[in-house]
Amino acid sequence: MRLFVYGTLLRGEANHAIVARARFIAEAHTAPMFELLDLGEYPGLVAGGARSIAGEVYEIDPEDIAVVDEFEGHPDLFRREMIALSDGSSAFSYVLARRPAKSVVIVGDSWRTR
């Protein structure tokens, strides 16, 4: 299954080891319908914005997705959902289950350049 990551699971970021067994496909952007929130130590993707968020796409084995689900707090903190990418394809990603009352929107399109 294809998985789009956008924060601490990116190559070179603190939690990349969680997806290190997955096969890197490409750098990618979401379709322009999201916002990226700065939640302190990690970001959160939320639907309803107008930004195209930068990230990476991986091919991950279905049996390995349970590890990522647990790490992301699926379905309570983040929900794994199919999202649209800017190239017209789609991939699963982790979207915040609830937008925090006090949240800071990352102005750019990338967790790395916040």
Does the annotation count 13 as an active-site position? no
Q: Are strands 78-84 and 90-96 parallel, antiparallel or unpaired?
A: antiparallel
- Amino acid residing at 75: P
- Annotated active-site residue in 13, 56, 70, 72: 72
Q: Check: CB of residue 36 under 8 Å from CB of residue 106.
A: yes
Structure tokens at 84: 């649209």
First to last CA, the chain: 29
CB neighbours of residue 56 within 10 Å: 21
Instruction: Write out the catalytic residue numbers.
Output: 72
